[in-house]
Structure 1
């Protein structure tokens, strides 16, 4: 009978820990970022599928096209297909209107004692042009490249494959491990 109490106590403990973990995850997931601009960026990064109708999709297609054009000009490459994947979304820094107001009050009571209080008010608002719902962007960073896949007819030749790999690494300034070059299959 003692072992049954131990099993039921262990089950209750596991259930309680599981319930706490689920509750904590709801609390954590329910909280949004403190910075509203960060919230907008996170949502756009999460909901931006890699298709040409989004800014990220357009950037990916432009980069793929640029790489493909350059690789096609290399000797021995043949037909080429390039795919680019971004790790992050666009990063925007917005223009802000920073105002600091400082007000000091001196009060003297009937007995002759004085009291001085200082009130500081800071205002750090994002600048919105009149009639627009979009804030003014001070800087826009391109997303970080997660990986590049190059499929080329000439990649069976190790010299061509290495040349493509080096060209992509040089053009994008990314680590070698994020680039894969493979031979094109199928019929010519």
Structure 2
């Protein structure tokens, strides 16, 4: 009878993990907009495919690697796999050459009336270094983290799971609701 409870618990846990993976897939697939200065990642939560060699893909991989390295050093964690999803893309603010020219004309007609006109010309060009096709970047904002999934062998222990959750929340300064820690399954 005790083994039936274990099988039932394992099946329920597998179901919960499956729902999380499917939910994360919908989140990933729903974020496919590409703007003029924003890149949004498109990666599947089900397969472990290498991210393309884009800036956003490289940032995701670096962050996943750093988190994994830190989590692996924690006691009782065991094997770990980390997935990070960005909610927004990289945001760049470019250096601009702002020139404003103001010209005022005063005209007097034959009857003694005067008319004054002001012409303002604004030139707001992005600064391009000589011989380069890339503009000069003034500020580069990191993308906002949409969610983190941590799969760890030791996550069956509530203390280890809570420790991982707290560590990720502290390292990334993101709300608790954006972090999921689940035990690693399989044989």
Q: Which residue of 2 aligns with 1:41?
A: 37
* 1:81-138 Cα deviation digits (max 9, x unpaired): 0000001110000111111111011112233222211111111111111221111100
Q: Which residue of 1 aligns with 2:182?
A: 182
2:167 and 2:146 map into 1 onto residues whose CA distance is 17
Distance 1:80 1:39, change over 3 A: closer
| Structure in which a larger fraction of residues adopt helix | 1
2:52 and 2:60 map into 1 onto residues whose CA distance is 8
Q: Tell whether 2:158 aligns with 1:162.
A: no
Q: Tell whether 2:102 aligns with 1:96.
A: no
Q: Which residue of 2 aligns with 1:60?
A: 60
Q: Which residue of 1 aligns with 2:126?
A: 126
| Larger mean Cα displacement after TM superposition, 77-86 or 125-134 | 125-134
Q: Which residue of 2 aligns with 1:33?
A: none
Does the CA-based 8 Å contact 1:99-1:123 persist in structure 2? yes
Q: Which residue of 1 aligns with 2:46?
A: none
Write out the 4+ residue segments of structure 1 that deviate beyond 4 Å after TM superposition: none
2:158 and 2:35 map into 1 onto residues whose CA distance is 46
TM-score by length of 1: 0.74
Unaligned runs of 5+ in 2: 1-33, 44-50
Q: Which residue of 1 aligns with 2:10?
A: none
* Higher-Rg member (1/2): 1
Does the CA-based 8 Å contact 1:85-1:148 persist in structure 2? yes
* Cα displacement (A) at 1:63: 0.2
1:160 and 1:126 map into 2 onto residues whose CA distance is 50
Distance 1:90 1:118, change over 3 A: same
2:35 and 2:131 map into 1 onto residues whose CA distance is 23
Distance 1:163 1:96, change over 3 A: same
1:151 and 1:113 map into 2 onto residues whose CA distance is 81
Q: Which residue of 1 aligns with 2:23?
A: none
TM-score by length of 2: 0.75
Unaligned runs of 5+ in 1: 1-37
